[in-house]
Structure 1
Amino acid sequence: MSERIYDLHCHSTASDGVLSPTELVQRAVEKGVNVLAICDHDSIVGLDEARAESHKQGIQLINGVEISTIWTGQGGNRGVHIVGLDFDQNSLEMTALLAQQAELRLQRAIQIGEKLELLGIPDAYQGAKALASGEVTRAHYARFLVQIGKVSNDTQAFKRYLSAGKPAYVKADWVDIATAIKVIHQAGGLAVLAHPLRYNMTNSWIKKLVMDFAQWQGDGIEVAGCGQLPNQRQLVARWAVEYNLLASVGSDFHFPCAWIELGKSLTLPDNVMPIWAKFA
């Protein structure tokens, strides 16, 4: 029997991915993934569609969401993503939190559009919204800026306009990490610290984040992701062991490209406990 392939972090058009939930499940099957979690940003609206397709395709779908949070770390407040896995999507606590986050996202998106208007880019919110199937995110603004020829690619859009400190950036007062963990647990799920090495902090500050996450009763950490160097994976695995955290895996797939793919290179080191051992 072939080894099961897990991918517990990817995105659909319900947030800033380019594939619909149905297409995402179909691509996962093509890439040999057996267990998939779609973790859209502060949204679970794609889960029902994905589950219907997963039944057709014979793939296991795990309920997932990626919650935007704030952590007071190196240099002040930092945006940190917490993945919720294997929770009850009808949980009242989860529904309330995601509604709150959706309102924050809407107001932020409108304000970004207003800033771009002041920079001489009219109708940016409408343009970004036309590219979104669900919530409007900075990724949709980046695609709009590429579409109208202001930049040549999404990365350039973030560097010129949308990243922290740039003229169209708008910070959001997301929920704190401890609250996100609490709500995930109230919904019967597992809380995972997403892509810990991608927060543009020194390793000592990232380790402090991991320590805080564990103290707040977080359950797991993404140990394996696409594009990692072997020493990076081993470093996160050591933190998982040190802080008694379960090990998760996730491509963080948003769109087809050469370096990030569903199920690609998501093998865990032998010294960690896989998070799926705790799935209900």
Structure 2
Amino acid sequence: MKNNTTKLIDLHTHSTASDGSMSPAEIVRLAREKGLSAIALTDHDTVDGVEEALEEGKRSGVEVIPGIEISVDFKPEMHILGYFPDINGYTGIRQELEVVKQGREVRNKKIINRLNELGIDITLEEVKGVALGDIMGRPHIARVLVNRGFVSSIDEAFDRYLCREGLAYFKRVELKPGDGINAIRNAGGLPVLAHPVFLGKSHGELDTLLAELKEFGLAGIEALYSENSKEDTGNFLRLAIKYELLVTGGSDFHGSFKPGIELGRGRGRLEVPYELLEKLRGAVRA
């Protein structure tokens, strides 16, 4: 139970720069309304929204942490969060991120073609109309499916068509885990394993995997997360201690593109204390 002086944060959010429904500035203002002390903007494979978030943070009195979330090649899925990167330094890896972006665009076309084959008549132009930033992905396709009445919700769109087992799923080009970690390190950031609960690994398998990722330069693990059970969180915290990894936490907020996930609170129970951010900052300065 938190006391009244506990400062809460959210280190995992997505804006219209990738696949969220709210602009970077809107997320910062929402964080202020919810009483959060700090947030990190961690859009997929881009830092394009960070400058806007930083500027709004100055106006709103909310601390904004520059970040990114890089998808890497791992089954079923693995994402690496990067915190405190030198935004200018990211020019050094923009070529790698551009390859990932192009891979996403190829996959989008394949998905739409498959949907058309299934009798679902949507176009790439419709998806572009939903995506307010340069990054287009499955959440935007899902929104078009809802808008056109082919499904009743974003969840149904993913369950039927867009998840790994869906009728229109295609894998896209991604960096190898070590390359994603190194890309963040090379930009001066701290690489953190995002939502390990989605890796589909037993405790022993995750233990082995973390040892490998630590060798690549992994700095932390997102042990506090919207979809964790109490047991999951305990396991991740114990592994963080074992491998001397920093602990982070976040909601994975996408606005209306991820219904039921509230900024700073996840599904209502999430509490990420400010002290975790202080430890992250200390590791950057070390």
TM-score above 0.5, yes or no: yes
Partner letter of residue 143 of structure 2?
R
Correspondence for 1:266 among 259, 263, 271: 271
1:7 and 2:10 matched: yes
Q: CA deviation digits over 1:104-147, x for unaligned, max 9?
A: 11111122111112112223322222111121111111111111
CA distance, structure 2, for counterparts of residue 84 and residue 238 of structure 1 = 22
The percentage of counterpart residues that share the same residue type is: 34
> Which residue of structure 2 lines up, in the alignment, with residue 277 of structure 1?
282
Report whether the alignment pairs 1:105 with 2:108.
Answer: no
What is the total number of aligned residue pairs between the two structures? 273
Conservation of the 8 A alpha-carbon contact between 2:76 and 2:200: no
How many angstroms does 1:52 deviate by?
A: 1.2
Q: Following TM superposition, by how much is the alpha carbon of 1:193 offset from its aligned partner in structure 2, in angstroms?
A: 0.2
- Contact 2:37–2:63, Cα closer than 8 Å, also in 1: yes
Offset from partner CA, 1:149-195 (integer Å, 9 cap, x none) = 11111111112111123221110120011011111111110000001
Supply the RMSD in Å over aligned alpha carbons. 2.2
In 2: Cα distance, 1:258 partner to 1:98 partner = 28
Q: Judging changes above 3 Å, is the alpha-carbon distance between structure 1 residues 123 and 260 closer, same or farther for their aligned structure 2 residues?
A: closer
Q: Report the CA distance shift for 1:106/1:66 in structure 2 as closer, same or farther (over 3 A).
A: same
Aligned partners of 1:261, 1:279: CA distance in 2, in Å? Answer: 28
Deviates more, 1:57-66 or 1:203-212: 203-212
Q: Once structures 1 and 2 are overlaid, which stretch shifts more, 188-197 or 137-146?
A: 137-146
Matched with 1:186 is 186
* C-alpha displacement of 1:210: 2.2
Q: Aligned partner of 2:128: which letter?
A: K
Deviation at 1:242, TM superposition (A): 1.1
Q: Which residue number in structure 1 is paired with residue 22 of structure 2?
A: 19
Three-state SS of the structure 1 residue aligned to 2:77 is strand
Unmatched 5+ stretches in structure 2: none
Q: 3-state DSSP class of the match of 1:224?
A: strand
Counterpart residue type for residue 178 of structure 1 = G
* Structure 2 match to 1:78: 76
Q: What residue is the counterpart of 1:167 in the other structure?
A: 167
TM-score normalised according to structure 2 size: 0.88
Q: Counterpart in 1 of 2:195?
A: 195
Q: Cα distance 1:5–1:279, how it changes in 2: closer, same or farther (>3 A)?
A: farther
Deviations 1:209-256 (A, max 9, x none): 322221211000001122533222111100101111110111111116
* Counterpart AA for 1:211: A
2:34 alignment counterpart? 31
Deviations 1:58-97 (A, max 9, x none): 11111111000013xxxxx432100010001111323222
| Matching residue's letter, 2:78 | V
Q: Give me the whole-angstrom Cα distance separating, in 1, the residues matched to 2:279 and 2:249.
A: 9
Q: Equivalences for 1:244-263 in 2 at 5 Å?
A: 244-255=244-255, 259-263=260-264
Structure 2 CA distance for partners of 1:266 and 1:274, relative to 1, 3 Å: farther
Structure 1: gaps (5+ residues): 72-76
The equivalent of 1:87 in structure 2 is 85
From the two aligned structures, give the one with the greater helix fraction. 2
